[in-house]
């Protein structure tokens, strides 16, 4: 079952059981009165279809009526963040879905999104993500860099933060300095001082990602709310370590390509590079590797880097 924790006034985090694991995928809930005195009920990155029923149950147990959800904010359209929205909207008829302009077409027609994910996940596609339903255009609200969203007694500003995905955005509350980071601030599971760069194909961009890290740092957030997973107050440390590891792993994959290694060998090299430090920081807990792998497995990670080098820097392959 899902776990609900209050993070600040009007803000909750719901840990969604994903593939039998807690502390891997989470959604955020915002509530508060809007400018005309009505109550907004907001979801941020509500997760995949396979956790949709758990989310609906958690909302009910938290005292919220899913039919009263007014806004669904999407940092990016990857299935672990938005895959369940089409299903959820059957229970949330009032909700509008806010997504960057580059991602919006793939919500109303998810065929290419599903095809791309199927290349990565293969036979595990249905087990991981379930049914991906299209979202009617009437429910979709396009947002861009600089969009301001006055909702739930706050104003959230949208910043375009490509790198992990070309359409990725963050939502920032300048008053409280709370920042909803999606995946652009990396994967750091709760209680573990280790941030992992999630680099899935098709549009990882290391230079763009580094600029997005610079942008987040310039905002000086007091806390980062990660999709994977939860609140992180050591923001400078996390961002510095993310940038270091992002390029370090990239160079490892690049060297493998230069040495004419096949994909499986490069994956093995990355595992050999990562796991000793991860285990040391996690106190030797074997389940930690399983949970990190659910958020960004090594095969997907390497495939994203390979596509990046081949597409954006073929000159460095020789």
Does a structural domain hold residue 19?
yes
pTM here is 0.95
CATH number for 93: 3.60.15.10
Query: Mean of the pLDDT values across residues 262-279?
Result: 97
Domain encompassing residue 61: 3-240
Q: Is residue 119 in a domain?
A: yes
Q: Does the residue 223 lie in any domain?
A: yes
According to the 3-state scheme, what is the secondary structure of the chain? Answer: CCEEEEEECCEEEEEEEECCEEEEEEEEEEEEECCCCCEEEEEECCCCHHHHHHHHHHHHHCCCCHHHCCEEECCCCCHHHHCCHHHHCCCCCCCEEEEECCCHHHHHCCHHHHHHHHHHHHHHHHHHHCCCCCCCHHHEEEECCCCEEEECCEEEEEEECCCCCCCCEEEEECCCCEEEEECCCCECCCCCCCCECCCCCCCCCHHHHHHHHHHHHHHCCCEEEECCCEEECCHHHHHHHHHHHHHHHHHHHHHHHHCCCCHHHHHHHHHHHHHHHHHHHCCCCHHHHHHHHHHCCHHHHHHHHHHHHHHHCHHHHC
| Confidence at residue 304, expressed as pLDDT on a 0 to 100 scale | 97
Residue 284 in any domain: the answer is: no
pLDDT at 35: 84
The rounded mean pLDDT for the chain is 96
Q: What is the pLDDT of residues 41-96, one digit of tens each?
A: 999 999 999 999 999 999 999 999 999 999 999 999 999 999 999 999 999 999 99
Number of domains in the chain: 1
Q: Would you say residue 111 lies in a domain?
A: yes
- The reply to whether 255 falls in a domain is no
The tens digit of pLDDT for each residue in 167-193 reads: 999 999 999 999 999 999 999 998 899
Report yes or no on 92 lying in a domain.
Answer: yes
Q: Is the pLDDT of residue 284 over 80?
A: no
Question: Mean pLDDT over residues 21-27, rounded?
Answer: 94
208-230, pLDDT tens digit by residue? 999 999 999 999 999 999 999 99
In this predicted structure, what is the pLDDT of residue 172?
Answer: 99
Q: Is residue 290 part of a domain?
A: no
């Amino acid at each position: 079952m899902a776990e609900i924790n209050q993070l600040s006034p009007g803000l909750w985090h719901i840990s969604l059981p994903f593939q039998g694991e807690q502390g891997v995928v989470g959604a955020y809930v915002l509530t508060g009165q809007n400018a005309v005195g009505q109550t907004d009920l907001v979801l941020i990155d509500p997760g995949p279809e396979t956790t949709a029923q758990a989310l609906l149950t958690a909302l009910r147990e938290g005292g919220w009526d899913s039919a009263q959800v007014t806004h669904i904010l999407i940092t990016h359209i990857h299935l672990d963040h938005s895959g369940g929205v089409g299903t959820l909207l059957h229970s949330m008829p009032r909700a509008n879905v806010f997504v960057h302009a580059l991602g919006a077409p793939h919500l109303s027609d998810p065929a290419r999104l599903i095809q791309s994910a199927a290349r990565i996940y293969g036979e595990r596609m249905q087990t991981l993500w379930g049914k991906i339903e299209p979202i009617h255009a009437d429910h979709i609200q396009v947002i861009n860099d600089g969009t301001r969203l006055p909702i739930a007694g706050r104003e959230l500003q949208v910043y375009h933060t490509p790198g992990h995905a070309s359409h990725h955005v963050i939502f920032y509350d300048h008053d409280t300095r709370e920042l909803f980071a999606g995946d652009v601030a990396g994967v750091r599971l709760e209680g573990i001082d280790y941030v992992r760069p999630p680099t899935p194909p098709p549009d990882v961009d290391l230079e763009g990602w580094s600029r997005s890290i610079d942008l987040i740092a310039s905002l000086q957030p007091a806390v980062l709310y990660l999709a994977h997973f939860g609140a992180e107050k050591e923001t400078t440390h996390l961002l510095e370590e993310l940038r270091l590891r992002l390029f370090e792993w990239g160079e490892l994959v690049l060297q493998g390509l230069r040495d004419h290694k096949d994909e499986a060998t490069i994956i093995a090299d990355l595992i050999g590079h990562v796991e000793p430090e991860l285990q040391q920081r996690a106190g030797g807990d074997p389940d930690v590797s399983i949970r990190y792998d659910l958020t960004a497995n090594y095969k997907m990670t390497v495939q994203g880097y390979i596509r990046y080098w081949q597409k954006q820097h073929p000159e460095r392959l020789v």
